[in-house]
Structure 1
Amino acid sequence: MASIVNYYKDLMYNRNDPRTQDWLLVSGPGPILTIILLYLYFSVSIGPRLMRDKKPFDLRNTLIFYNFTQVLLSMYLVYEGLMAGWLYDYSYKCQPIDYSNNPQALRMAHAVYMYFICKLIELLDTVFFVMRKKQRQISFLHLYHHAVMPICAWIGVRFVPGGHATLLGLINSFIHILMYAYYMLSAFGPEMQKYLWWKKHLTSLQLVQFSIILVHNMQVMVTDCNYPKVLSFLLIVNAGLFIYLFGSFYVANYQVKRENVLIAREKSKITNGMIKSNGYTNGTVTHDYARSYKSD
């Protein structure tokens, strides 16, 4: 037991980046773990119980403002990630961490910290679902994604605020520009639905994102790169898990659903043909199936 405690102390307080150790919420794991546990408790227990006998909140203006802010923050993170290294100086094959006080290295460290703060702000996604009584939206994938990303970002700020793994934040922030733009437009109401045909492509982009992250970190494992291989291995495992979860979501919500719609349309044609052969029409049934297909 003593050896475990000593290893923990050595890891937390001797192998961390001294530049970031006193930044807000970064001094130790206690604050971030407390936030995540409270988030999970609110999302699956106390939140739904508080809303059980209440009407859903109308958060239209709040959601428009929130999602617009997220778009701006994501654009800022993409810009900072590019300017701090990935556009000019960083190597996509192997990028060690610069722990110096070089202005460029500090700029990347601050970008990683801002990414961490944004992951905490994104916990509001779930809070808004609870307040709107959209509990079906709070899936295992949703909770896992929102709980794990702040912890990953905290590890980045505490130990590796720069280098190879920051490509993850750059790509993720780019995806979030599109994602929160979609959420912002959908918050305006049903009249915007005709412009939101590209929803399923967001999931496709998520799958591409995690595939890039997986391959990008595999390079560290097979090359002599001065970057923590343990961290790269954990990112590979996490990316693989996300590929499985998002892939399952895509198949269930788009491929299977579309196949069911096509089957329903074929049944409708058969039913229409049988009824018409008996001297009747079935305009109502045809309309209902068409309306169902259009809504998907």
Structure 2
Amino acid sequence: MMDNNDMMMNDDRQVRKLTTYLEKNFHNVSFDFSQYPGFNSALNIERLLLLNLSKLIYFIENNQWLPFAISLLYLIIVVCWIPRLMRNRQPYRLNDVLSFWNLTMSLFSIVGTFRILPELIFMIQNYGLFQSICDDRYIDDPRYFLWMSLHRISRIFELLTSVIIVLNKQKLLSIHWIYHIISLCYSWQMLDMPSNSRWLICTDFLVHSFMYLYFAMKSSTPNQLPWILPMVITLLQILQAIICLLTEWVNIWYPQQVCHKQKYLSIIGFLIYGLFFIWLIHLFIEKYLPKTDYQTNEEMKKNE
């Protein structure tokens, strides 16, 4: 029979080395990816960024004011000023630019999904569903930390979508710009890699992969796309909100010694995802469910 030491050695080989974000040293990154979950390679651009991973993380940690400043400028210039400026102007007809940008964001999200998802599956298989939400230990794969950081940076570049939309004189939905501002500011507050970040970021990458692909298709063709596509996207966003709500609730319910996340972040996150869940449900009912006679009559009165 195996003694305790042998069992511990086998467990170590199976689980691999796990460490916390704060204990990581990103100054000497190894390119031996065969020991990590997922693909055993990295893109050339990833290798270049990995050489500067410590600088990237240092930049995020020491510029927590940046998303708030950018959000304020975004609100003043993109949401308020440019629509007024374009009121008496012709649209710039940037559909091709919008299509290319959405396709770029979709490809970015797809690669991010393939980097983040294997670690989530690894945690569920080896530690269980509860620990995948509550345990803030992360696999040593530097690509994982790179894409966690790039996810935060990408929140800034997502704002460019709104710029193209308003220059096209298309309607900028309230849920669109409010979501961008809140998600940008909230994502930069999770610098200590809280326990449920793997769920929040993985679901975000996954849903954005489909969402931006649909937007790219929509802006690249004058033809009407099947009505089922936007409905599926909205359902995916609702599912994402439910998953994020559940993970935030788990972190609120259990003590911080069990779920390694600061309570105020979980409470803020729960309120944010609760707001968007209600908003998305309202949007889904309004756009995709059959309207009653009363609702139809009310709309007719408004149009008179």
1:170 is matched with which residue? 202
Structural mapping, 1:40-119, within 5 Å: 40-83=75-118, 85-89=119-123, 91-94=128-131, 95-98=134-137, 103-104=140-141, 106-119=142-155
SS of corresponding position for 2:196? coil
Q: State the identity as a percent.
A: 22
How far apart, CA to CA, are the structure 1 residues paired with 2:292 and 2:98? 33
Moved more, 201-210 or 20-29: 20-29
TM-score (norm 2): 0.70
Tell me how far 1:249 sits from its aligned partner. 1.7
Partner residue, 1:126: 162
TM-score, normalization: structure 1? 0.72
Counterpart for residue 214 of structure 2: 182
Measured after TM superposition, the shift of residue 254 of structure 1 is 2.6
How far apart, CA to CA, are the structure 2 residues paired with 1:184 and 1:24? 31
Deviations 1:119-172 (A, max 9, x none): 1111112111210111x3332x2221010111122112x232x63222011111
Equivalent of 1:227 in 260, 269, 288: 260
1:241 and 2:275 correspond: yes
- How many residues end up aligned between the 2 structures? 240
- Give deviations 1:195-218, integer Å, cap 9, x for gaps: 453212211211111111111222
Provide closer, same or farther for how the CA distance between residues 260 and 34 of structure 1 changes in structure 2, counting only shifts above 3 A. farther
Residue of structure 2 aligned with 1:207, choices 207, 231, 238:
238
Please, which runs of 5 or more residues in structure 1 have no aligned partner? 1-15, 265-296
Deviations 1:37-91 (A, max 9, x none): 11111123221132222210111221121111111111111111123x2021354
Q: Find the residue that maps to 1:89 and give its secondary structure.
A: helix
How far did residue 259 of structure 1 move? 4.3
- What RMSD, in angstroms, separates the aligned Cα atoms of the two structures? 2.8
Contact kept, 8 Å, 1:186 with 1:196, in 2: the verdict is no
Higher-helix-fraction structure? 1
**5+ unaligned residues in a row in structure 2: which ranges?**
1-20, 25-53, 298-304
Cα 1:92–1:120, aligned 2, differ >3 Å: closer, same or farther? Answer: farther
Superposition map of 1:144-163 within 5 A: 144-156=178-190, 158-160=191-193, 163=195
Aligned-partner Cα distance in 2 for 1:177–1:226: 29
Counterpart in the other structure of 1:285: none
- Residue 197 (structure 1) aligns with: 228
Distance in 2, matches of 1:199 and 1:248, equals 15
In 2, Cα distance between equivalents of 1:215 and 1:92? 12
Q: Secondary structure at the match of 1:137?
A: coil
Whether the aligned pair in 1 keeps the contact of 2:195 and 2:259 (CA below 8 Å) is no
